[in-house]
């Protein structure tokens, strides 16, 4: 099997081990104020600079911890803010996103869970094998999956809204699920997000959540 790869896109390195389950958050364009974005980017870049003095063999655990820390900070801000676009409160728009998430299930990933919030989306999935040869198995990269999801949904939603331009923020935030116990914690977090944000009293009341298995 190919070695685990670290690839750099923006602000923090992305890490996708072959066959890993991923927890991804993506958000609406302009859903965060510029000053908040700048502050969080500066924190991310400071963490990234701290890797420079380390030996390459020491990078991975620190990268994973940094990504987890920054993931939580971005998500907390999204839950707290009320100003800004909240297109996903519209049932027709949320349905387009839900349909797209399910459409790629079995094609590019195994869909485990998701929650569509007013200004962002949480999704947990396991990328499927894209190609296979004598050297090993190659899985769909997370950036390719997100490009498919965001590109199609943005095109369709913009037609409904009669608008042009960006619908989703370019950057997505992903976290590698390390084991079964962490997976259960993350799924619970995803399903409880509307409750934590004060939108409903129990996760069962939120229309735009999904879990493949029974809790």
- Is residue 167 included in any domain, yes or no? yes
Q: β-strands 109-116, 120-127: how paired?
A: antiparallel
Cα–Cα distances in angstroms (integers) from residue 170 to residues 1, 25, 30, 110, 124, in the given order: 30, 12, 10, 23, 19
Domain around 198: 10-211
* Per-position pLDDT tens, the chain of length 215: 343 443 334 444 566 788 899 999 999 988 766 666 667 667 766 766 666 666 655 555 666 666 666 666 666 666 665 567 899 999 999 999 999 999 999 999 999 999 999 999 999 999 999 998 888 889 999 999 999 999 999 999 999 999 999 999 887 788 889 899 999 999 999 999 999 989 999 999 999 999 998 66
Q: What is the pLDDT of residues 125-152, one digit of tens each?
A: 999 999 988 888 899 999 999 999 999 9
Q: What is the pLDDT of residues 58-79, one digit of tens each?
A: 555 666 666 666 666 666 666 6
Q: How many domains does the chain have?
A: 1
pLDDT at 69: 65
Rounded to whole angstroms, the Cα distance separating 24 from 94 reads: 17
Contacts of 155 (CB under 8 A, 6+ apart): none
pLDDT at 8: 37
Give the CATH number of the domain where residue 203 resides: 3.30.70.1290
- Is residue 5 included in any domain, yes or no? no
- Is residue 4 included in any domain, yes or no? no
């Amino acid at each position: 099997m190919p070695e685990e790869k670290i690839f750099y896109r923006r602000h923090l390195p992305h890490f996708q081990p072959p066959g890993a389950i991923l927890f991804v958050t993506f958000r609406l364009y302009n859903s965060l104020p510029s000053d908040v974005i700048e502050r969080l980017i500066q924190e991310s870049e400071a963490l990234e600079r701290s890797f420079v003095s380390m030996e390459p063999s020491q990078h991975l655990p620190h990268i994973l911890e940094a990504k987890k820390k920054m993931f939580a900070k971005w998500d907390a801000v999204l839950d707290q803010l009320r100003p800004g676009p909240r297109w996903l409160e519209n049932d027709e728009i949320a349905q387009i996103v839900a349909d797209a998430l399910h459409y790629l299930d079995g094609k590019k990933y195994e869909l485990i869970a998701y929650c569509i919030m007013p200004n962002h989306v949480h999704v947990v999935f396991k990328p499927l094998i894209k190609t296979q040869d004598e050297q090993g198995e190659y899985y769909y990269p997370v950036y390719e999956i997100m490009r498919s999801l965001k590109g199609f949904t943005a095109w369709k939603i913009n037609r409904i809204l009669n608008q042009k331009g960006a619908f989703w923020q370019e950057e997505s935030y992903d976290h590698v699920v390390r084991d079964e116990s962490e997976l259960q914690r993350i799924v619970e977090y995803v399903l409880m997000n509307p409750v934590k944000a004060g939108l409903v009293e129990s996760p069962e009341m939120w229309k735009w959540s999904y879990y493949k298995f029974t809790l």
